[in-house]
A and B are shown apart, each in its own frame.
Chain A
Amino acid sequence: MSNIHVTTTVNGDEVEFLCDPRETLLDVLRDRLGLTGAKEGCGTGDCGACSVTLDGRLVCSCLVLGAEAEGKEIATVEGMATGEALHPLQKKFIEHAALQCGICTPGILVATEALLKKNPDPTETEVRYWLAGNLCRCTGYDKIIRAVMDTAADMREAS
C-alpha cells in the first residue's frame, strides 16, 4: 500500500509526514514524529493513555488515522509547557504527587486540560466522570482529582 502525504499542525508547528493509510495517529506521533508522550495502553480507545486533542477535541489517538490529521491542529502533552514554564496542571500534578508510574499521566493531563478549557469551574463529580475514560492503575485517582480541582480554582483566580 503506498504511503500518503499529510500536512498538519502539531503543538503549533506545521508538520509534514508520509504514512501508511492504515497507520494510527498514535503510531505516527510516536514512530514518525518522535513524540512519545502519548502512550499505547490498550489500542482500542478504552484507557485514554494516548489522549491528544484534534482541533481542540479530546480524542484517543489510537482510534484516529494518521491520514485524518490532514489540515487539523493536534495538541499533545509535549506542547503543554511553554518553554521551561510548566502548565499549571503539570505543576499541580507534581505538587500533589498525583502520579506514580507516570505512564497514564500525559493522557490524563491532556484530557484534563481539555476539560478545563470547556468548563473552568467543574464540580468534583464532573471531574471524576470526565476522567472515567482515563485509566490509572497506580494512584487510586484521589490525588489526581485533588490536583485538578486545585488547579481549576487557581486558574479561575488568575483569569
Chain B
Amino acid sequence: MKDNVSIRGSVHTDRIHDSAAKHVTGAADYTDDIPQPEGTLHAYLGVSNVAHATLHGIDLTAVRAAPGVIGVLTADDIPGVNDISPTGLNDEPVFPTETIQFHGQPLFAVIAETRDAARRAAELAEADCTPLPHALDPVAAMEADYPHVTAPLKLERGDVGPAFEDATNRIQGCMTIGGQDHMYLEGHIAFAIPGEDDEIVVHCSTQHPSEAQHMVAHVLGVPSNAVVVNVRRMGGGFGGKESQMNLFCAVAAIAAKKWNRAVKIRPDRDQDMTATGKRHDFVVDYDVAFDDAGRIEAVEGSFAARCGFSADLSGPVTDRALFHADNAYFYPNVRLVSRPMKTNTVSNTAFRGFGGPQGVIVAERMIEEIAYATGQDPLDVRKANFYGGAGRDLTPYHQEVEDNILDRLVTELEQSADYRTRRAAIVDHNLGSRILKKGIALTPVKFGISFTATWYNQAGALVHVYNDGSIHLNHGGTEMGQGLNTKVAQVVAEAFQVDFERIKITRTTTEKVPNTSATAASSGSDLNGMAALDAVEQIKARLVAFAAEKWSVAPEAVAFKANHVHIGAETLTFAQFIKAAYMARVQLSAAGFYKTPKIHWDRGAGKGRPFYYYAYGAACSEVTIDTLTGEYRVDRTDILHDVGRSLNPALDKGQVEGAFIQGMGWLTTEELWWDDKGQLRTHAPSTYKIPLASDRPRIFNVNLADWSENRELTIKRSKAVGEPPFMLGISVFEALSMAVASVADYRICPRLDAPATPERVLMAVERLKKA
C-alpha cells in the first residue's frame, strides 16, 4: 500500500531552511522591515564620553530644542524600576543616576519624529560630571582592587599541593585571550506599540523573549501579563542578543507608553558595538605538572575576566570557562578559580561558547607547552591526556565523562587529513623556506551541553491541528538563522507522519509559550524539539484512543504513516482522519513541555552533573605565515564533528562551518582595542575585522561523524551543534604557533596571545629569532 511512501521533510534529512525562499528574494521580514503605523517615533541613545565619573546632571536644553525632537527620556521617566540586570543583582540601570561606569554608557534617550533627527539631537547633550580613575582590563582592575561583579567559582579535585611539589616537570605561564564582538549583520532593534490600559507589544530581535518581557514589565512597573514580546527572526544573534536587547526593549516601551505612540529604536553600528557587551577577554595564569611522557599530573589555573561594569551573565560565563579548562583532558589533580573582574568597560555578555572557548584554549596552550618541553608532536601529547576509562574519567567538577568518542574521532580525522605525512612535509618545507613558514595542528573539542543554571533547561511548545488537517507549530525557541524552526518542524512532521509543508511555523511570542529560556547554550533543538514532540504525542494519544473506539480496533492497530492514518484495514488521509476526530469532539491542540533529566549542580561544592552529555569534534588546519610581515593564510582545514544522529545534516554542517570560521576570526583578525580613555576604537567593520570570503581556508573539508549517536535520550539521538564547533578554530591558532616556532627550530613554545593578529605573529617571530 502506501507504507513505502515517505513524507517530505522528516528528521535526519537535508531539509532546506524554512525561510530560504524568502531570504533569497528579500521577502523575509526582520524587525526593521515591519511596516510602521502612522505617527511612529524614533528613539536614539545619548551616551557618555568618559569611562568613569560622578554624574551631577545632564544639560538637555539643546537636545530638546533640536529639530524634530518630541522629548527626552531620562532615569526620572522610568515608571517602574531602573534596572535591567538579568540575574537580579540590581547593578545595571537603564540610565545611571549617580555614576558613569564606562565610555559609551547610555545616559538618556532622545525621541524624535525621525531616526535621523533623534540621532543628531543625541549629540547635543552636556553631561556635568567629575571624572574618576578607571580600570579597563582585568589586570588593571586587580591592581586597583576592583571588586568581582559576581561571586567567583572554584573547582578542585585531588590534591595539587603535593602534586606540584613532586612534579617531574612543571611549567608556569600566562595567556591573554581577547574578546570578540558579535557583529550580527542585523544590529539591535526594538519596536514598541502601546495598547489599552497597561498593555504593550514589543517586536524585537532578542534570543530571550521571556526575559525581555519581564524586563519591560519591570521598568514599566506592570505585571508580565501586560507585555507581549514577539520575535519572527533575527539577523544573527550569537549570544549578543541574549540579554543585551533588554535595554532597547525597555527604552522603546517606556517611550511608547509615555507618548502613546509606536516607538522604534535602532542604534547605528558604532553605538551597537560600543553600548552593548561582547565576549569576555581573559588573562589566565596557568601552572602545569607533567611526567616525561607528557602526561599531565596537576593543573592550577586562575581565570581573570574583563566583565565590564555589571555582572550581566559574567557569573555563568566565567563558570563555563572553568568547566572547559580541561577540554578533552584528564587532570589527576586540579584547582581552578575564576576572577570575574569589574572593569570600566561595557558589560560583557554571552557569545557562542559562553566562556567555554577561553577555557579550552588554555588547555590547548598547556598541551603545546608540554609538547615543546618534551620534544613531541602535540597530537601525541593530546592523545596521551584524553579522558580514558575508569580512574581517568572525572572532570574537575566531578562529572564522569561517559560518552567520550575522541579516540575514534581524532584517529579518523588524523587519517583522512593525512596529518602525519603532511606534518613531516611541513617540517621539511620549513627547513628549505627562508621567509614563508608553515604550520599544522590538529585540535579536539569536548563541550558540555546544558545550561549550567539547571532551571533554564526547560522548554514549552504549542501545537494546534486545525480541522482541515493543517498544523500550527509554536515553541519557545527563537530563529536566528540556525534553522531551529526547520528542525522542530521536522520533528513534528516525523511524529505526525505528514509532509513538512503541512506545518506552519509561527513567530516566537510570549503569548503562546510562557516562561521560556533563552535560545542559547546550543540547546534550541534539544529542548524545543522535545517539547514539540511532547505536544504531538499528547494529540496523537487522543487521536489513537478516538480511532480505536470508533473503528473498534486495538490501539496498536492505529498507525500514522506517510500522510495517512491506518486503522485496522481502513486507511484515511491525515486530513480526513482529523476531520473525523474534530466531528467527534477530540481536542486537537496541546501544550508540550520538556525538562532535561539527570542534571544537577552544587556551585558551592563545585560538584555535580551540570551537563547532560558532551559534544565532540576535531579540526586539522594548515597555515602559511610570512615571517617578514606576520601576514598569514589558512591553506587547508579538515573537520570531523559529532552531532549525534543529525536532525538535519545540511543545517548542521552549516553550523559547523560557520562556527569554525567565527572561531578562527576570534583568534586571528578580530581585535578589540580600547584607548587610554576607555573608548572602543574598533567600533565598526571599518576597524574591526571579521573573516571575509577571501579568508576561508583554500581547501575546506567538513564532515559530520555520521556513526555517532547520542547515548542519552535526546531528540532523535541528535546532539547540540551551535557552540561546540566554534572551538575548532583553535586549530588555526595552534598551526600559526607551529609556524612561528619553526624560526627557533621548534625548541620554544611561542606563547602567542590571542588574537594572533599579523602584528602579534610578527612580534612572536622576532622574539623567537632572538631566543
Q: A78-B26, A102-B481, A137-B690 are in contact. Are A41 and B661 (CB under 8 A)?
A: no
Selecting from A2-10, A63-71, A123-131, the interface stretch reads A123-131
Closest to B659 in A: A140
Check A105 against B483 for contact (C-beta < 8 Å). Answer: no
Instruction: Give the docked Cα–Cα distance between A106 and B235 (Å).
Output: 12
Which residues of B, 447-502, contact A by the 8 Å Cβ criterion? 480-483
Chain A residues within 8 Å of B182, by CB: 137
Check A47 against B21 for contact (C-beta < 8 Å). Answer: no
Which residues of A, 75-104, contact B by the 8 Å Cβ criterion? 76-78, 80-81, 86, 89-90, 93-95, 97, 99-104
Judged by a CB distance under 8 angstroms, whether B52 is at the interface is no
Chain B residues within 8 Å of A36, by CB: 26, 29, 32-33
Check B29 against A100 for contact (C-beta < 8 Å). Answer: no
Check B236 against A103 for contact (C-beta < 8 Å). Answer: yes
Q: List 5 A-B contacts (CB under 8 A).
A: A34-B35, A41-B186, A76-B26, A102-B23, A129-B693
Closest to A23 in B: B116
Instruction: Give the docked Cα–Cα distance between A109 and B25 (Å).
Output: 9
Task: Give the interface size bracket for B toward A.
Answer: 35 or more
Instruction: Give the docked Cα–Cα distance between A77 and B22 (Å).
Output: 11
Q: A94-B16, A100-B658 are in contact. Are A137 and B183 (CB under 8 A)?
A: yes
What residues make up the interface of A, taking CB atoms closer than 8 Å to B?
Answer: 20, 22, 30, 34-44, 46-47, 49, 76-78, 80-81, 86, 89-90, 93-95, 97, 99-106, 109, 127-129, 131-132, 134-145
- In this complex, which of B14, B20, B693 has the most chain A Cβ atoms within 10 angstroms of its Cβ? B693
Instruction: Give the docked Cα–Cα distance between A118 and B481 (Å).
Output: 31
Judged by a CB distance under 8 angstroms, whether B286 is at the interface is no
Check A137 against B238 for contact (C-beta < 8 Å). Answer: yes
Judged by a CB distance under 8 angstroms, whether B383 is at the interface is no
Check A136 against B26 for contact (C-beta < 8 Å). Answer: no
What residues make up the interface of B, taking CB atoms closer than 8 Å to A?
Answer: 14, 16-17, 19-30, 32-33, 35, 116, 182-187, 233-236, 238, 268-269, 480-483, 650-651, 653-654, 657-662, 684-686, 690-694, 696, 700, 702
- Starting from the known contacts A102-B24, A128-B694, 11 additional A-B residue pairs (CB-CB under 8 Å) come to A30-B33, A39-B32, A42-B685, A81-B25, A99-B23, A99-B481, A100-B482, A101-B184, A101-B185, A135-B690, A135-B692
Closest to B655 in A: A100
Of the residues A20, A103, A141, contact of B185 by C-beta under 8 Å:
A103
Q: In the complex, what's the smallest C-beta–C-beta distance from A136 to chain B, in angstroms? A: 7
Interface of B (DSSP majority class) = loop
Q: In the complex, what's the smallest C-beta–C-beta distance from A155 to chain B, in angstroms? A: 16
Check A139 against B24 for contact (C-beta < 8 Å). Answer: no
Q: In the complex, what's the smallest C-beta–C-beta distance from A10 to chain B, in angstroms? A: 13
Instruction: Give the docked Cα–Cα distance between A39 and B692 (Å).
Output: 18
Chain A residues within 8 Å of B236, by CB: 100-101, 103, 137-138
Check B693 against A39 for contact (C-beta < 8 Å). Answer: no
Q: A42-B685, A46-B685, A97-B651 are in contact. Are A106 and B26 (CB under 8 A)?
A: yes
Closest to B30 in A: A103
Instruction: Give the docked Cα–Cα distance between A73 and B515 (Å).
Output: 50
Closest to B702 in A: A142
Instruction: Give the docked Cα–Cα distance between A30 and B662 (Å).
Output: 30
Instruction: Give the docked Cα–Cα distance between A62 and B661 (Å).
Output: 27
Chain B residues within 8 Å of A44, by CB: 269, 684-686
Check B693 against A134 for contact (C-beta < 8 Å). Answer: yes
Q: In the complex, what's the smallest C-beta–C-beta distance from B232 to chain A, in angstroms? A: 12
Check B481 against A138 for contact (C-beta < 8 Å). Answer: yes
Instruction: Give the docked Cα–Cα distance between A95 and B14 (Å).
Output: 10
Chain A residues within 8 Å of B35, by CB: 34
Check A109 against B693 for contact (C-beta < 8 Å). Answer: no
Chain B residues within 8 Å of A93, by CB: 20, 23-24
Check B480 against A101 for contact (C-beta < 8 Å). Answer: yes
Q: A97-B650, A101-B236 are in contact. Are A142 and B700 (CB under 8 A)?
A: yes
Check A104 against B693 for contact (C-beta < 8 Å). Answer: no
- In this complex, which of B183, B236, B238 has the most chain A Cβ atoms within 10 angstroms of its Cβ? B236
Q: A36-B33, A37-B25, A97-B16 are in contact. Are A104 and B185 (CB under 8 A)?
A: yes
Check A105 against B685 for contact (C-beta < 8 Å). Answer: no
Chain B residues within 8 Å of A47, by CB: 185, 685
6 residue pairs, one from A and one from B, having the closest CB atoms: A37-B26, A101-B481, A102-B23, A103-B235, A140-B661, A100-B481
Instruction: Give the docked Cα–Cα distance between A140 and B664 (Å).
Output: 10
Q: A99-B20, A135-B185 are in contact. Are A80 and B658 (CB under 8 A)?
A: no
Check A141 against B696 for contact (C-beta < 8 Å). Answer: yes
Q: In the complex, what's the smallest C-beta–C-beta distance from A27 to chain B, in angstroms? A: 8
Closest to A134 in B: B693
Q: A49-B185, A128-B696, A135-B185 are in contact. Are A102 and B269 (CB under 8 A)?
A: no
Of the residues B185, B233, B693, contact of A137 by C-beta under 8 Å:
B185
Q: In the complex, what's the smallest C-beta–C-beta distance from B381 to chain A, in angstroms? A: 29
Instruction: Give the docked Cα–Cα distance between A34 and B33 (Å).
Output: 9
Chain B residues within 8 Å of A22, by CB: 116
Check B483 against A100 for contact (C-beta < 8 Å). Answer: yes
Instruction: Give the docked Cα–Cα distance between A106 and B24 (Å).
Output: 6
Closest to B686 in A: A46
Instruction: Give the docked Cα–Cα distance between A126 and B33 (Å).
Output: 33
Instruction: Give the docked Cα–Cα distance between A86 and B720 (Å).
Output: 33
Chain B residues within 8 Å of A95, by CB: 16
Instruction: Give the docked Cα–Cα distance between A139 and B654 (Å).
Output: 6
Chain B residues within 8 Å of A38, by CB: 26
Check B269 against A43 for contact (C-beta < 8 Å). Answer: yes
Q: In the complex, what's the smallest C-beta–C-beta distance from B481 to chain A, in angstroms? A: 3
Q: A39-B186, A46-B685 are in contact. Are A77 and B25 (CB under 8 A)?
A: yes
Q: In the complex, what's the smallest C-beta–C-beta distance from A138 to chain B, in angstroms? A: 5
Check A140 against B185 for contact (C-beta < 8 Å). Answer: no
Check B269 against A101 for contact (C-beta < 8 Å). Answer: no
Closest to A24 in B: B116
Closest to A130 in B: B693
Chain A residues within 8 Å of B686, by CB: 42, 44, 46
Instruction: Give the docked Cα–Cα distance between A150 and B560 (Å).
Output: 39
Instruction: Give the docked Cα–Cα distance between A38 and B26 (Å).
Output: 7
Closest to A110 in B: B26
Instruction: Give the docked Cα–Cα distance between A58 and B635 (Å).
Output: 30
Chain A residues within 8 Å of B693, by CB: 127-129, 131-132, 134, 136, 141, 144-145
Chain A residues within 8 Å of B696, by CB: 128, 140-142, 145
Q: In the complex, what's the smallest C-beta–C-beta distance from B699 to chain A, in angstroms? A: 11
- In this complex, which of A44, A101, A127, A142 has the most chain B Cβ atoms within 10 angstroms of its Cβ? A101
Closest to B697 in A: A142
Q: A39-B235, A142-B657, A143-B657 are in contact. Are A102 and B22 (CB under 8 A)?
A: yes
Q: In the complex, what's the smallest C-beta–C-beta distance from B29 to chain A, in angstroms? A: 7
Instruction: Give the docked Cα–Cα distance between A86 and B23 (Å).
Output: 12
Instruction: Give the docked Cα–Cα distance between A74 and B694 (Å).
Output: 28
Chain B residues within 8 Å of A144, by CB: 693
Q: In the complex, what's the smallest C-beta–C-beta distance from B596 to chain A, in angstroms? A: 26
Closest to B23 in A: A102
Chain B residues within 8 Å of A76, by CB: 26
Of the residues A81, A89, A109, A135, contact of B685 by C-beta under 8 Å:
A135
Q: In the complex, what's the smallest C-beta–C-beta distance from B619 to chain A, in angstroms? A: 12
Check B17 against A100 for contact (C-beta < 8 Å). Answer: yes
Instruction: Give the docked Cα–Cα distance between A46 and B185 (Å).
Output: 11
Closest to B701 in A: A142
Q: In the complex, what's the smallest C-beta–C-beta distance from A35 to chain B, in angstroms? A: 8
Check A143 against B654 for contact (C-beta < 8 Å). Answer: yes
Check A136 against B657 for contact (C-beta < 8 Å). Answer: no
Q: In the complex, what's the smallest C-beta–C-beta distance from A101 to chain B, in angstroms? A: 3
